[in-house]
Amino acid sequence: MISKNVLNKALEKIKQSKKNADLIANNNLQSALKNNEFNEIYKLEKQAQIETARCEVYGLNNSFNLDEIAKQKSEILKKLNIDESTLLPKYSCKKCDDTGYVNGKMCSCLKKLINEELYKQSGLNHKLNSFNKDDCKIFDDTKTMQQIYKTMQKWCNSPTSNYLNIILTGKTGVGKTHLMECMADDLIKNENIVFWTSAFNLNQLLLKYHTTFDETKLEYISNLLDADYLFIDDLGTEPILKNVTIEGLYNIIAERVENNKKTIISTNLNPEDIQNTYGERIFSRLLNKANSLCINIENKDLRLIKK
C-alpha cells in the first residue's frame, strides 16, 4: 500500500471534488423544485421509480409509465429554461464518478493525484523531461543515444518485460538523469504510480525507518516498496550508514523483485564499484542478467558543453 499520508491526500481531493459536484447539482435541484409544476412531476417520478422496482421484485403489474413521466418532466424543465443535466452532479472523472475506484481498483484519476503527491516528495523542482520533446542531438554520440532512448521507451510501454531492474551507469553529466526523467514521464502518462528519490533522500528514509519504533515506521518505506516503478537517482553518492544503507537497500530491492515491481537506478559507479560498495547480495540482485538490464552511457559532460 502506498503511504497512507499520500493516499489520504489524494483521496481527500477526490472527495472534495465529488462533494462540490453534488452540492452544485443539489442547489440547482432545490431551485427548480420551487416551481410547483416541476415539484409535482418530480415527486411523481420518485414514486413511480419506487413502485416500478417493487413490481419487478414481486412480479406485479406496474401502473406507472416512467418514460411518459420523464417526457413530461423534460417538457416542464424546457418551459422553465432549465438544462436537465444541471440537476445531476458533473463529476470531474466519468470513469469512477469521483470515488477514486473502478471495480475495486484504483482509477486513473486517483493514480494521477498520487503521482502529484509523490512528485512533491521527489525533490525535483521542474517539469519532467519527455520522450516526445527529447532531442538526442544534444549528445555527442547521437546515434547510440537514439537507440538507448528507443529501447527505454519500448521498455516503459512493455509492462510484461522480464527486466525488473534498469541500471544506468556513466560519469557525471552524461545524461542519465535526463533519460530517467523521460522514462518517469512516460510511465506516469501510462497510469503507473511512480516514486522518484535521490540516493541521499533514500538513505534518509531508510534511517528514519531504522530509528522509528512505532506503527508509523512503515510510512517511511511504503512508497519505496509499493510504487509500480521506483527511480533512484545517483546511487553511490550517499554516505554508507552502518546497519542502514546496505541492509535497507537490499531489503527494498529484494522485496520489489519478489513482488515483480520495477526499479530504475542511475549511478556513477561501474558494476565492479557497485559490488565493492554494496556487496555481493545487492550486486547479484541489481545485475542479475535474467531480470536486469545495465546500460553504460558514454558522453561528454553535457553540463560543460552547455556552458
Q: In the 3-class helix/strand/coil scheme, how is 44-85 assigned residue by residue?
A: HHHHHHHHHHHHHHHCCCCCCCHHHHHHHHHHHHHHCCCCHH
The pLDDT score that the predictor gives to residue 305 is 44
Residue 112 domain-assigned?
Answer: no
User: Do 258 and 194 lie in a common domain?
Assistant: yes
User: Do 168 and 294 lie in a common domain?
Assistant: yes
Mean pLDDT of the 127-133 span = 84
Residue 98 domain-assigned?
Answer: no
User: Do 75 and 126 lie in a common domain?
Assistant: no
Helix (H, G, I), strand (E, B) or coil at 37: helix
User: Do 136 and 282 lie in a common domain?
Assistant: yes
User: Do 68 and 136 lie in a common domain?
Assistant: no
The domain in which residue 274 lies consists of 122-306
Mean pLDDT of the 110-131 span = 90
The pLDDT score that the predictor gives to residue 191 is 94
User: Do 74 and 209 lie in a common domain?
Assistant: no
14 class by beta-carbon count within 10 Å (0-12 exposed, 13-18 middle, 19+ buried) = buried
The pLDDT score that the predictor gives to residue 301 is 62
pLDDT tens-digit readout, 252-298: 999 999 999 999 999 999 999 999 999 999 999 999 999 999 999 98
User: Which residue reads 418532466 in cell numbers?
Assistant: 73
pLDDT tens-digit readout, 18-32: 999 999 999 999 999
User: Which residue reads 515483480 in cell numbers?
Assistant: 260
Question: Would the pLDDT of 304 be above 60?
Answer: no
Residue 240 domain-assigned?
Answer: yes
Q: In this structure, which amino acid lies at residue 296? A: N
pLDDT tens-digit readout, 177-216: 999 999 999 999 999 999 999 999 999 999 999 999 998 9
Please give the tally of structural domains in the chain.
2
The pLDDT score that the predictor gives to residue 50 is 95
CA-nearest of 285, 187, 166, 304 to 233 is 166
Residue 97 domain-assigned?
Answer: no
- Name the band, by pLDDT with cuts 50, 70 and 90, for residue 126: confident
User: Do 32 and 154 lie in a common domain?
Assistant: no
The pLDDT score that the predictor gives to residue 302 is 56
Question: Would the pLDDT of 63 be above 50?
Answer: yes
pLDDT tens-digit readout, 91-101: 999 999 999 99
Let me know: does 252 contact 220? Beta carbons within 8 Å: no
Mean pLDDT of the 116-121 span = 92
Q: What span, in angstroms and rounded, lies between the C-alpha atoms of 208 and 211?
A: 5
User: Do 158 and 210 lie in a common domain?
Assistant: yes
Q: What are phi and psi of 75, to 5 degrees?
A: -65, -40
Tell me what percent of the residues of the chain surpass a pLDDT of 70.
96
Q: What span, in angstroms and rounded, lies between the C-alpha atoms of 265 and 287?
A: 11
The pLDDT score that the predictor gives to residue 298 is 86
Residue 12 domain-assigned?
Answer: no
Q: In this structure, which amino acid lies at residue 90? A: K
Residue 238 domain-assigned?
Answer: yes
User: Do 45 and 128 lie in a common domain?
Assistant: no
Residue 102 domain-assigned?
Answer: no
Residue 42 domain-assigned?
Answer: yes
Q: Cβ contacts of residue 280 below 8 Å, gap of 6+? A: none
The CATH number of the domain holding residue 180 is 3.40.50.300
User: Do 62 and 22 lie in a common domain?
Assistant: yes
User: Do 197 and 293 lie in a common domain?
Assistant: yes
pLDDT tens-digit readout, 144-183: 889 999 999 999 999 889 999 999 999 998 889 999 999 9
User: Do 260 and 141 lie in a common domain?
Assistant: yes
